């Protein structure tokens, strides 16, 4: 399991627009890499909107946002377009990035246990080191919480 102070695992995966997004694309900047269970669901929509709405403030703090789930490129594209998001959504359909960051774990819902993506956010510093990890995120208020942490640094 990753912890704060660890080197962030490298990744290179297809985004909603068909481009390839890699960790190295963000060298010299803060990166907020957040994992969410499924595009176009209420919690994921709330979380994405919060990051979108504060994008100018994140950019002022030398910070970029990237969302990631196991959804297909097409599903990510629909989600991105529907919400008019101003950051990439990664289509990690083989769960390589999700698993490298430890965001795919056993979950429980309505008495059933299953393997799924746990809402997790990583703040990766300009040097590629994990500065902060938020586990089991509650979507409401999370964007503001992440922004406050980045602005305080």
> Would you write out the chain's pLDDT as a tens digit for each of its 153 residues?
899 999 999 999 999 999 999 999 999 999 999 999 999 998 999 999 999 999 999 999 999 999 999 999 999 999 999 999 999 999 999 999 999 999 998 888 788 888 899 999 999 999 999 999 999 999 999 999 999 999 998
Cα–Cα distance measured from residue 38 to residue 70, given in angstroms and rounded to the nearest whole number: 7
Is 91 within the bounds of a domain? yes
Query: Are 3 and 133 in contact, with CB atoms under 8 Å apart?
Result: yes
Residue 66 lies in a domain: yes
109 domain residue, yes or no: yes
- 77: domain CATH number is 3.40.30.10
Active-site residue identified among 15, 31, 44, 147: 44
Domain annotation covers residue 5 = no
Asked if the structure places residue 31 within a domain, the reply is yes
Q: How many domains does the chain have?
A: 1
Residue 121's pLDDT is 98
Residue 121 lies in a domain: yes
44 catalytic? Reply is yes
Question: Structure pTM?
Answer: 0.95
Please indicate, yes or no, if residue 2 is contained in any of the structural domains.
no
Contacts of 57-61 with C-beta under 8 Å, sequence gap 24+, read 57/147, 57/151, 58/32, 58/147, 58/150, 61/30, 61/147, 61/150, 61/151, 61/153
Domain that holds residue 48: 12-152
> d(Cα 140, Cα 43) in Å, to the nearest integer?
8
Residue 1 lies in a domain: no
């Amino acid at each position: 399991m990753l912890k704060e102070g660890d080197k962030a695992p490298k990744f290179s995966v297809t985004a909603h627009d068909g481009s390839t997004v890699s960790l190295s694309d963000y060298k010299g900047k803060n990166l907020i890499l957040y994992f969410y269970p499924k595009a176009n669901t209420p919690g994921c929509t709330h979380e994405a909107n919060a990051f979108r709405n504060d994008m100018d403030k994140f950019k002022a703090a030398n910070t970029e946002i990237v969302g990631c789930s196991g959804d297909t490129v097409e599903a990510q594209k629909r989600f991105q377009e529907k919400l008019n998001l101003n950051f990439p959504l990664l289509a990690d359909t083989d769960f390589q990035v999700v698993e490298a960051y430890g965001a795919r774990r056993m979950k429980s819902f309505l008495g059933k246990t299953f393997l799924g993506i746990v809402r997790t956010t990583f703040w990766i510093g300009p040097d590629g080191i994990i500065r902060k990890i938020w586990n089991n995120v509650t979507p409401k208020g999370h964007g503001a919480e992440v922004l406050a942490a980045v602005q305080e640094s």
